[in-house]
Amino acid sequence: MELTVTPEALTWFKKELVVDEGRGVRFFGKIYGKTQVHDGFSVGMSVDKPERTIVEKKIDDLVFFIDETDEWFFKGYDLEVGYDQTLDEPDYKFIEIKE
């Protein structure tokens, strides 16, 4: 599983979130909403401490990660975190992992 954060999304996270040392931006599955591959679930994010990560990406001293408890939501997909300029918020793209 890969986790990609576009430069535009990185700029948004740096502007909008306060992330203390030892913490990072966690992506997880949450009830309600819809993604391109899930009905009834959407991507949530929070500032949290990475402990049992299945994927972790550090960009400019900012850590992005997915915890092992959320593997069910991302299994079989890479996650690309982009930026929606119209809504001024992150957007999420699931890319199927080809084996």
Classify strands 77-84 and 62-67 as parallel, antiparallel or unpaired.
Answer: unpaired
Contacts of 61 (CB under 8 A, 6+ apart): none
Please give the residue that has the higher pLDDT: either 48 or 37.
48
Domain of residue 17: give its range: 3-96
Q: What is the CATH number of the domain that holds 30?
A: 2.60.300.12
pLDDT tens-digit map of 46-93: 999 999 999 999 999 899 999 999 998 899 999 999 999 999 999 999
Q: What is the pTM of this model?
A: 0.90
> What is the number of domains present in the chain?
1
Closest CA to 73 of 90, 92, 59: 92
